[in-house]
Structure 1
Amino acid sequence: MTVINTQIDTLVIGAGQAGIAMSEHLTRLGIPHLVLEKNRIAEAWRSGRWDSLVANGPAWHDRFPGLEFSQADPDSFIPKEEVANYFTEYARKFEAPVKTGVEVKSVIRNHGRPGFTVETSDGTVEARHIVAATGPFQRPIVPPIAPKEDRLYQIHSAAYKKPATAACRRRSGGRRGFLRGTNCR
């Protein structure tokens, strides 16, 4: 494990779609920066979504500047694993300064001097600027209006992976149901 003890102009927290896009812009502008990601690049696309997820738009539309989806029909909707691989490939293309496997523990604004002190699982980073690219909808919320009946099996969309999983069938007693909304914050 390499211990981080550094000062940097900009620290980007998160190496998903927004974090990689920000890193590309900072690189193009010549701004020294570091991207920290607690998992792999674009991990939420790999493990935090349902199995059949595809990109919202066709490949010709849902891409970053300067890199097409390899071996994809421009009008196709790209599966989530290929989207995650694309973000990884894009980061490699411009040599993004990404450190994976590093969790940010705290970000504290410095007093009496500009910037922030960031404690991570690998050490301390002093950064003049912080970009929080950790993604939306990190905390599932079940509204109090949801019925709390034993006969009704409920699963939040954040925990949904695929229909008719053995665990869902077992817990629901074979009952049918539907999935509605994400209601995450």
Structure 2
Amino acid sequence: MKQKSENTRLHYDTIIVGGGQAGLSVSHNLQKHGIDHIIFEKHRIGHSWRNDRWDSFCLVTPNWQCQLPDFPYQGDDPQGFMLKDEIVDYVEAFAKKVNPPIMEGVAVNRVWRGEHGKLHVSTTAGEFSTDHLVVATGGYDIPIVPDYAHSLPKHITQIHSVNYRNPEQLPDGEVLVVGSGQSGVQLVEDLHLAGRKVHLAVGSAPRSPRMYRGRETTEWLFDLGFYQLTIDRHPLGDEAKHKTNHYLTGRGGGHEIDLRQFALEGVKLYGSMANIDGSILEFSADLIKNLDDADEIYVNIRNDIDRYIAENNIDAPIEPPFRKVWEPELDPTRINADAENITSIIWAIGFRPNYRWIELSAFDGRGFPQYDRGVSNVDGLYFIGLPWLHTWGSGRFLGIADDAEYLADVIQRKLAVKAVAEL
């Protein structure tokens, strides 16, 4: 890789902030166009995969979906699910192929519009300017912990999922996981398999089958066109960007996760977390609804696949109808953490983006960027690597290539128009 060790340039046609798979993919396409650019990466390539995941972390989508530009998965287990270290190796191998102009260990502190319309970029390596700025930092900047968490007694350990590594790091006793998105349910399984007593505050996340009618479900969904579904065609519109992904896991070769089965095995389930008052933990009375809603999505996915099989006369084995394996007798709304011997809480309720360093009018009232296929309403500003940037596949290894190619083409066209205007 072309590692820049010092500030030898002041202006670049394009600056990319973030050297993960999204930023590297943009660099790959900019190089094809011969566009002058540089990447600023706050840490090092592969940092979030290497440093912000638990020990047993693996992909929830099969390896065949790893389709970075001109660099598809080339291993011998396309139906498998790469472990954390294998993901790091894949991203680092892609970076070696791209050989990007990158400055690692360089943070971008501020971006603003300067004179002559240039975007000014202040970094820990100096001051730069650019015509086009691509933000490839992702949306997982600030771990979400509710304000009422401060009232939890100090003898109860609390951490965010980004800081969880393994069951051994937690004190003896029982564990409450708050949040049933992809991370939350996988941490529950990690703790449960290690023999820990686990409690789970169940949120509104949907779930998905892993295998159905003789085939991995993501293969069916790919054939059905779900990954190519664009945000403008989604019934929820832009609100889809803020919805939680379906939960399932790639652990042990991949399987679906049924929270009702966890309950049969001793995991205690509650509704969504509502408040903490000392050792008293309060939950909403929505456990039954949240379980039923997740199952409804699960069944809908199966029904979509059934229709596709019937319409295309596909020979596929028949599956028995879905049935609930457990129903809660109660929907408890208050427990005493000390009485339940809960000694630690893991917050798995997501992240908020932090774009405060971008001093441009490109965000909505909640601080989320506004764009069309990653092209901001602010001239020269772009985003990539976010869920539903354009399609359901955006933000995943599967969809980044198309998004990066599109942005590079937009930048190339704008630079060409500028060059003609300056003749």
Of residues 19, 25, 32, the one that matches 1:21 is 25
Distance 1:43 1:143 in 2: 26
Of residues 135, 139, 145, the one that matches 2:138 is 135
- Residue 35 of structure 1 and its aligned partner are, at CA, apart by 0.8
CA displacement 1:32-58 (0-9 Å, x = unmatched): 211111211120110012121112311
Distance 1:177 1:147 in 2: 18
1:176 aligns with 2:174: yes
Of residues 102, 109, 114, the one that matches 1:110 is 114
The amino acid across from 1:182 in the alignment is I
Give the aligned partner of residue 77 of structure 1.
81
Query: Aligned with 2:173: secondary structure?
Result: coil
Give the aligned partner of residue 11 of structure 1.
15
Aligned pairs for 1:150-169 (under 5 A) are 150=153, 152-165=156-169, 168-169=170-171
Give the aligned partner of residue 105 of structure 2.
101
Give the aligned partner of residue 44 of structure 1.
48
- Residue 83 of structure 1 and its aligned partner are, at CA, apart by 1.4
Distance 1:50 1:182 in 2: 16
Distance 1:67 1:107, change over 3 A: same
CA contact (8 A) 1:59 1:72 kept: no
CA contact (8 A) 1:6 1:126 kept: yes
Distance 1:14 1:102 in 2: 10
Distance 1:126 1:182, change over 3 A: same
- Residue 6 of structure 1 and its aligned partner are, at CA, apart by 2.4
The amino acid across from 1:128 in the alignment is D
Query: Aligned with 1:161: secondary structure?
Result: coil
Distance 2:128 2:84 in 1: 32
Number of aligned residues = 178
Q: Which has the higher contact order (CA 8 A, sep 6+)?
A: 1
Distance 1:147 1:123 in 2: 38
CA displacement 1:136-181 (0-9 Å, x = unmatched): 121112123547332543221122122221xx21xxxx22113233
CA displacement 1:9-33 (0-9 Å, x = unmatched): 1100001121112212222233221
Query: Aligned with 1:154: secondary structure?
Result: strand
CA contact (8 A) 1:20 1:87 kept: no
CA contact (8 A) 2:38 2:102 kept: yes
- Mean Cα displacement is larger for which, 32-41 or 143-152? 143-152
Distance 1:80 1:63 in 2: 17
- Report percent identity of matched pairs: 33
Distance 1:65 1:183 in 2: 28
Distance 1:29 1:154 in 2: 49
CA contact (8 A) 1:20 1:91 kept: yes
- Mean Cα displacement is larger for which, 5-14 or 78-87? 78-87
More helix by share: 2
RMSD: 2.0
The amino acid across from 2:90 in the alignment is Y
Alignment TM-score, normalising by the size of structure 1:
0.85
CA contact (8 A) 1:39 1:101 kept: yes
Give the aligned partner of residue 128 of structure 2.
125
- Residue 67 of structure 1 and its aligned partner are, at CA, apart by 2.0
Query: Aligned with 2:350: secondary structure?
Result: coil
Structure (1 or 2) with the larger CA radius of gyration: 2
Distance 2:128 2:11 in 1: 6
Distance 1:114 1:81 in 2: 43
Distance 1:76 1:99 in 2: 33
Distance 1:132 1:62 in 2: 21
Query: Aligned with 1:55: secondary structure?
Result: coil
Distance 1:178 1:76 in 2: 30
CA contact (8 A) 1:4 1:124 kept: no
Q: Structure 1 stretches of 5 or more lacking a match?
A: none
CA displacement 1:63-87 (0-9 Å, x = unmatched): 3132233544111111122212222
